Structure 1
Amino acid sequence: MTSPFLRHSSAQSLRNSKIPFKIFERDHSFTFRAQGYRLRLSAEGLDAIESVLDPKTWDIFWNACGKTGGLGFVEFDAVTGEITDSRPIPQGLSSRGNKTVGIARGDMRKIFARGCEDFIEWGVQVTGYELSDDGSGVRAVFGDGRKSEWGSMLIGGEGIYSRVAKQLSKGKLKVFDTGARGIHGQALSPAFKGLGEGVFMLRDKSRSDGAVFTITNVRPGDMDDPTVEFGWTLGGQPGVVRAPNDNYTIVGKPAADIARALTKNWHEKFRPLFEQMNEENAAFWKITCSSPSGIPEWENEARVTVIGDAVHSMTPAGGIGANTAVRDSALLGKLLREAGGFREGLTAEYEKEMRVYGSEAVKQSYEAAKGSFGVDIDEETSLTVN
């Protein structure tokens, strides 16, 4: 399921355009499913976010973002502790002011929901939609058998398991399981003292079953506050990171214990990230990807469309997914604002433009993941995510 911040960013655009809306949220609260790595925001992503937020909310958002420069980008051999690559922040990782800008998923979600709280219905799972007989409206169908009120348009943003996307595209939209897995984790700032400020890659190539790596960034201004937690994400090639009984919904100590086991032979300056981690926030994640050949075309439905991971799931390589998702929200919001709400041809116009940048982003993410994760997708034979 895609990060809820995406649905809330779309809502901000509608709220500012004074277009009525309702959010159907699978989670039960803002604190539910709080695990997750910080999101890196590109220049395009920040521009898209700024375009959908009012000035006051934008200022709150921007002040909540961490801006990392420091040592730039440094890659270490995770076992020996030796630097294997050191350079300024690459252009692909920087966004504004030659710095990497990022924000915690939970913080982003709460900020995007400001002013929209009364329009969220919690704890409902959308399993499809129905169109009115005369084509004048659409309504969501929920897992408990209920149905929403009729509306003029439905935007499916419920992630890689999107039933809306499956129904809309008649199965053409596919998400492939790359087989690679990872673990998210967090630890208080003293655990990162061995790194300093910057963007870091810790890579372990010593294993016989495949490489393991960790990505993290350490922000200025927070290093000396022992109450601040920094996040990291650990990834492994297919078969290296395995959850008990292949249950990747497990969070907490089981995920933390596996992260510690995978890094027990790492250099002493890196081990505190895992030995001192907040076990409660540890979580597994699958690395999935949409069709690398591009986003397919389907018969347009004027009143239904999809955004984010529901239409273009990406690997975490390069941090492209979240930035492409907010571009969807900004583009769709712009078209709705200009039209004053629904109009015929709007979803077709959105999908035509989205397919171009979305397909390019999926391909870029996949190519980067081939090197980092050792993944390989054959669209004819690879397993898809149900």
Structure 2
Amino acid sequence: MATPQKPILISGAGLSSLLLGQALLRASIPYQIFERDSSISFRAQGYRLRLSSEGLDAIEAVLGPEGFQTFWDTCGKTGGSGLQFLDAVTGLPTAAPGSDANDSKTEDRKPKGTVESLSSREGKTVGISRGDMRKLFMKGCEPFIQWSHNVTSYELTSSGVRAVFADGSKSVEGEMLVGGEGIYSKVARQLSQGKLKVYDTGARGIHGQAPSTAFKGLGEGVFIITDKSNPKGKVFIITNVRPGDMDDPNVQFGWTMGAEPGVIRAPNDDDSMIGVPAAEIAKAFTANWHPRLKPLFEKMAESEAAFWKITCSTPTGVPEWENEPRVTVIGDAAHSMTPAGGIGANTAVRDSALLGRLLAEACGYGSGVTAAYEKEMRVYAGEAVKTSYGLAKVQFGVHIDENSKTV
């Protein structure tokens, strides 16, 4: 009788981990996902994600025609004239950040050759909420997720690997471990021996959402709305207003507020805080904004407001570490990015598609799988981190180097 195949172990149940689970499911490769939260609804799901051509291609490659059609139908498609810039106080169009010829700092901060591309398919900007995306990726994976299991390290065995949890217990022996538990990944730290670093840029933001009817004053499009009048520093929001739903108060659109380092501060410096405290700070920052914009904050769902920390991996690229055939990392655990350009999630799903394909081709674990994955991942992810950081230097005014604080 053949020996049962040991599972692929996956730490974290975020987007990249769940999409990898979908790839393994389709390839009939056993796996187990360990998530520190107690359920999918344990905490706020964050902001709306903009999907690039590369991101959509990766998702389609994993889900297949039928699964991708369901995903595509859930996505919102926004037309309009591309990215639009508005002054928050006057409500009038303004120049793009970094394009002011009178700004003496512009040339120093402007990323060379960096352009934000919005359209991805059919000439539309395609977006989906993080929560909806996670639910779609989770479908079918539920039996293979173990909640309330916080992976803090791993140990190699003579024929596999085990995940070690916060309470000291260990997982079943797996063929391979994939660290996909985000910027605080203990797997990434152990694997890379500290070479994988996530820097705290010092900038903070707030996610919020409101009924779609609150966005009617903006109209269809993708907007960056900036307030330079705040004495503490520049504050801005990014929002995507799609057609078809603007008259339905039961549908909510989201916005993401960002600011220069030190401007937005969560009470007690608790960036994981959600609800009224975040909502009140967002309302205070926008008290003098133009009437066409005020409904976004006056009508916001206060319970869904959440602070967030803006982080970034080493901007020079994904570092190299000694390859361990049975352990690797994906998503934010491998390459954290700022929200500038909306690149992070698209890069994460590319990881899932690539690693899933390599595992499927090998019919499971193979000694060269992680090395092949990491070699290819470093190329596209390294470029993505550089682009994201370059855009954030202009949009957020951030700066990091090897002496900057890490998370």
TM-score if structure 1 supplies the norm length? 0.96
| Alignment deviations for residues 203-233 of structure 1 (CA, whole Å, 9 cap, x no partner) | 0111232110000011111112111000000
| Alignment deviations for residues 19-59 of structure 1 (CA, whole Å, 9 cap, x no partner) | 00011112222222233110110000000000011332211
| Alignment deviations for residues 337-372 of structure 1 (CA, whole Å, 9 cap, x no partner) | 111011111101110111111110000000000000
Find the aligned partners of 2:120 and 2:184 in 1 and give their Cα distance: 30
Q: 1:122 aligns with which of 144, 147, 169?
A: 147
Find the aligned partners of 2:247 and 2:213 in 1 and give their Cα distance: 8
TM-score if structure 2 supplies the norm length? 0.91
Letter aligned with residue 280 of structure 2: D
**Structure 2 residue 355 is matched with structure 1 residue 332:** yes
**Structure 2 residue 129 is matched with structure 1 residue 112:** no
**Structure 2 residue 60 is matched with structure 1 residue 35:** no
The aligned counterpart of 1:103 is 128
Task: Give how far 1:145 is off.
Answer: 1.3
Aligned pairs (5 A) from 1:18-167:
18-85=28-95, 92-132=117-157, 134=158, 136-167=159-190
Cα 1:3/1:238, change in 2 over 3 Å: farther
Does the residue aligned with 1:84 lie in a helix, a strand or coil?
coil
CA contact (8 A) 1:27 1:124 kept: yes
Cα 1:75/1:322, change in 2 over 3 Å: same
Letter aligned with residue 48 of structure 1: A
Cα 1:366/1:326, change in 2 over 3 Å: same
Cα 1:19/1:35, change in 2 over 3 Å: closer
Q: 2:389 aligns with which of 357, 362, 366?
A: 366
Find the aligned partners of 1:164 and 1:355 in 2 and give their Cα distance: 18
| Alignment deviations for residues 246-275 of structure 1 (CA, whole Å, 9 cap, x no partner) | 111110000000000011111111011011
**Structure 2 residue 217 is matched with structure 1 residue 207:** no
Find the aligned partners of 2:335 and 2:71 in 1 and give their Cα distance: 25
Find the aligned partners of 1:75 and 1:295 in 2 and give their Cα distance: 32
Cα 1:3/1:243, change in 2 over 3 Å: farther
Find the aligned partners of 2:347 and 2:147 in 1 and give their Cα distance: 25
CA contact (8 A) 1:16 1:54 kept: no
Does the residue aligned with 2:121 lie in a helix, a strand or coil?
coil
Cα 1:208/1:91, change in 2 over 3 Å: closer
CA contact (8 A) 1:188 1:229 kept: yes
Find the aligned partners of 1:94 and 1:170 in 2 and give their Cα distance: 39
Letter aligned with residue 92 of structure 1: S
Find the aligned partners of 2:373 and 2:232 in 1 and give their Cα distance: 44
The aligned counterpart of 2:7 is none
Find the aligned partners of 1:349 and 1:189 in 2 and give their Cα distance: 45
The aligned counterpart of 2:6 is none
Does the residue aligned with 1:53 lie in a helix, a strand or coil?
helix
| Alignment deviations for residues 121-154 of structure 1 (CA, whole Å, 9 cap, x no partner) | 011111010100x2x1001001111110001000
Structure 1 unaligned residues grouped into runs of 5+ = none
Comparing 205-214 with 358-367, greater Cα deviation is found at 205-214
Task: Give how far 1:105 is off.
Answer: 0.8
CA contact (8 A) 1:315 1:365 kept: yes
| Alignment deviations for residues 278-299 of structure 1 (CA, whole Å, 9 cap, x no partner) | 0000000000000011111111
Comparing 188-197 with 304-313, greater Cα deviation is found at 188-197
Structure 2 unaligned residues grouped into runs of 5+ = 1-10, 97-114
The aligned counterpart of 1:9 is 19
Cα 1:91/1:316, change in 2 over 3 Å: closer
Letter aligned with residue 94 of structure 1: S
Find the aligned partners of 2:13 and 2:208 in 1 and give their Cα distance: 17
Letter aligned with residue 149 of structure 1: V
Find the aligned partners of 2:36 and 2:371 in 1 and give their Cα distance: 27
Comparing 32-41 with 191-200, greater Cα deviation is found at 32-41
Q: 1:219 aligns with which of 239, 242, 252?
A: 242
CA contact (8 A) 1:68 1:220 kept: yes
CA contact (8 A) 2:13 2:34 kept: no
Task: Give how far 1:2 is off.
Answer: 7.7
CA contact (8 A) 2:278 2:306 kept: yes
Find the aligned partners of 2:13 and 2:282 in 1 and give their Cα distance: 23
Letter aligned with residue 130 of structure 2: R
Letter aligned with residue 376 of structure 1: H
CA contact (8 A) 2:83 2:118 kept: no
Find the aligned partners of 1:382 and 1:55 in 2 and give their Cα distance: 45
| Alignment deviations for residues 165-204 of structure 1 (CA, whole Å, 9 cap, x no partner) | 0000001100000000000000001111100111111101
Find the aligned partners of 2:44 and 2:277 in 1 and give their Cα distance: 17
The count of residues paired between Structure 1 and Structure 2 equals 379
Letter aligned with residue 120 of structure 1: I
CA contact (8 A) 1:19 1:340 kept: yes
Find the aligned partners of 2:44 and 2:142 in 1 and give their Cα distance: 18
